Amino acid sequence: MTDNSAKMAVTREMFSDVMVPNYNPAQMVPVKGEGSRVWDQAGKEYIDFAGGIAVNCLGHCHPAMVNALHEQSQKLWHLSNVFTNEPAIRLAKKLTDATFADRVYYANSGAEANEAALKLARRWAIDVHGEQKQKIIAFNKGFHGRTFFTVTVGGQPAYSDGFGPKPGAIEHVPYNDADALAKLIDDKTCAVMMEPLQGEGGVVPPEQDFVKQVRELCDKHNALLIFDEVQTGFGRTGTLYAYEQLGVTPDILTSAKSLGGGFPIGAMLTTAAIAEHLKPGTHGSTYGGNPLACAVSEAVLEVVNTETVLEGVKQREAMIKEHLAAINDKYNVFKEVRGMGCLIGAELTEQFEGRARDFLLAGQEHGVMVLVAGASVIRFTPSLIIPEEDIKEGLKRFEHAVAQVVG
């Protein structure tokens, strides 16, 4: 019989004994986080520039989130969508008030939100235009999730190959290439799906004219434009959603990651005219829109969607880029530093091409957590409210990591 009176001692080695080996986590095991700092089992402190891959938009254990979770946990956790609930309706009202959208569908992750968006686009096209309008166009190096539909739409065969026959009528073109899109799109296209700034694909910003041309081509061929804002949304780029900075409004938008600030939740936002094609029974989620997740997300929205926080994101972008430029002046490791707000990528020079993970691991040694976006881009997705002193200290530690890799 197992003794549950004391907590089991956990080691990194146990991961290999009990977990499916699709991840290769760090050797240290984090146990506590507060703000933009994390501590491991040994008590070592880290500055967190990874943010759970652009999730922890208010850092770790933000009081507004903790309070919302605690308060809701004493009222109602889960009902299923046989019933509605107050936090879900309040959050949906605030999201529609703050965006182009009229309607919200809740999910539990970005992949689920994207799956819903793609199914809705297909259903809309078939209902309105007929069975022949099925083609979905997306972009090379895009990333839209790991379900079979979304991973196929994402333009990275390394993630979608090896699982047998893929969903059909999905094609890809290079990002920022409107001419290639113009050649492929036609009246059989039901939707174009894109990230307003490619995250996993290398932190690649769009050219302003490109996004406008995508919108125009969609309008010309009666295709829906889907913006995957799972990584860029909820303040990450300095506006609530990135589309606000691009002069283009999508037909469908997906949101997750920062939407819950660390609590799992996803959402698909769209217009009333498009939403009506998902009638009762056509799509659903057991946990989507549960009271706990929606209460936390509402608390996050109240903090993030303020001038102070959104303007602060732009200030932090400038500060991080300035510090990275200073590091590059000394070590000449970055070909380019790019991105928007608190989603920044530093592409390595040819000399260090393919070695982004080396910088990530060296960063951990020196007490700073960063990410990669492909083999040659180091990615920074810190809290939107990371204090200035944590930025300075974190990049000081990152400079030590750079010096170690450069040798």
Any idea which residue has 């989603």 for tokens? 343
> Encoding tokens for residue 296?
């936390």
300 and 349, same domain (yes or no): no
Per-residue pLDDT tens, the chain, 407 aa: give them.
455 557 899 999 999 999 999 999 999 999 999 999 999 999 999 999 999 999 999 999 999 999 999 999 999 999 999 999 999 999 999 999 999 999 999 999 999 999 999 999 999 999 999 999 999 999 999 999 999 999 999 999 999 999 999 999 999 999 999 999 999 999 999 999 999 999 999 999 999 799 999 999 999 999 999 999 999 999 999 999 999 999 999 999 999 999 999 999 999 999 999 999 999 999 999 999 999 999 999 999 999 999 999 999 999 999 999 999 999 999 999 999 999 999 999 999 999 999 999 999 999 999 999 999 999 999 999 999 999 999 999 999 999 999 999 99
396 is catalytic: no
Instruction: Write down the catalytic residue from 135, 234, 257, 352.
Output: 257
Please indicate, yes or no, whether residues 313 and 386 belong to a single structural domain of this protein. Answer: yes
> What's the longest Cα–Cα distance across the chain?
67
Same domain, 324 and 188: no
Domain end (from 259, 285, 304): 304
Nearest Cα to Cα of residue 170 among 145, 196, 189: 189
Rg (CA), the chain: 21
H or E, element range at 164: none
How many other C-beta atoms lie within 10 A of the C-beta of residue 396? 15
* Host domain of residue 91: 76-304
Only one residue has tokens 């490619």, namely 198
Domain co-membership, 242 together with 377: no
User: 191 forms bridges with which residues in the sheet?
Assistant: 136, 224
In a domain, 238, yes or no: yes
CB within 8 A of 35, min separation 6: which ones?
Answer: 59, 60, 61, 383, 386, 387, 390
Query: Are the beta carbons of 333 and 324 closer than 8 angstroms?
Result: no
What integer pLDDT is reported at residue 6 of this predicted model? 75
**For residue 381, what is the domain's CATH number?**
3.90.1150.10
Sequence-separated (6 or more) residues with CB below 8 Å from residue 384: 57, 58, 235, 236, 258, 304, 309, 312, 313, 316, 341, 342
Q: Verify whether residue 75 is a known catalytic residue.
A: no
34 φ/ψ angles, rounded to the nearest 5 degrees: -150, 120
Residues 242, 275: one domain? yes
Q: Both 86 and 186 in a single domain? A: yes
Residue 297 inside a domain? The answer is: yes
pLDDT for res 1: 42
The SS3 call for residue 381 is: coil
Is 224 found in the same domain as 134? yes
Asked if 263 is an active-site residue, the reply is no
Please indicate, yes or no, whether residues 40 and 144 belong to a single structural domain of this protein.
no
Q: How many domains are there within the chain?
A: 2
Long-range CB contacts (within 8 A, 24+) of 38-42: 38/369, 41/10
Assign residue 98 the CATH number of its domain.
Answer: 3.40.640.10
- Active-site position among 143, 149, 334, 380: 143
Q: Is residue 70 part of a domain?
A: no
Q: Which of 40, 228, 251, 390 is catalytic?
A: 228
Sheet hosting strand 170-173, strand order edge to edge: 103-107, 266-270, 252-255, 224-228, 189-194, 135-139, 170-173
- Regarding whether 111 and 140 lie in a shared domain, the answer is yes
Q: Tell me whether residue 5 is in a domain.
A: no
- Claim to verify: residue 90 and residue 146 sit in the same structural domain: yes
**Domain end (from 237, 270, 304):** 304
Q: Please indicate, yes or no, if residue 125 is contained in any of the structural domains.
A: yes
Please give the backbone phi and psi of residue 215, each rounded to the nearest 5 degrees, phi first: -60, -45
Phi, psi of 222 (to 5 degrees): 50, 45
Would 24 be classed as within a structural domain? yes
Last residue of a domain, one of 260, 284, 304: 304
Quote the CA–CA distance of 337 and 344 in Å, as a whole number. 7
- b/e sequence 281-312, b meaning 16+ C-beta within 10 Å: eebebebbbbbbbbbbbbbbbebbbeeebbeb
- pLDDT at res. 333: 98
Residues 129 and 250 reside in one and the same domain: yes
pLDDT reported for residue 5: 54
Residue 406 and residue 61 in contact, taking contact as beta carbons nearer than 8 Å: no
Same structural domain, 359 and 288: no
Kindly state whether residue 4 falls inside one of the protein's structural domains: no
In a domain, 68, yes or no: no
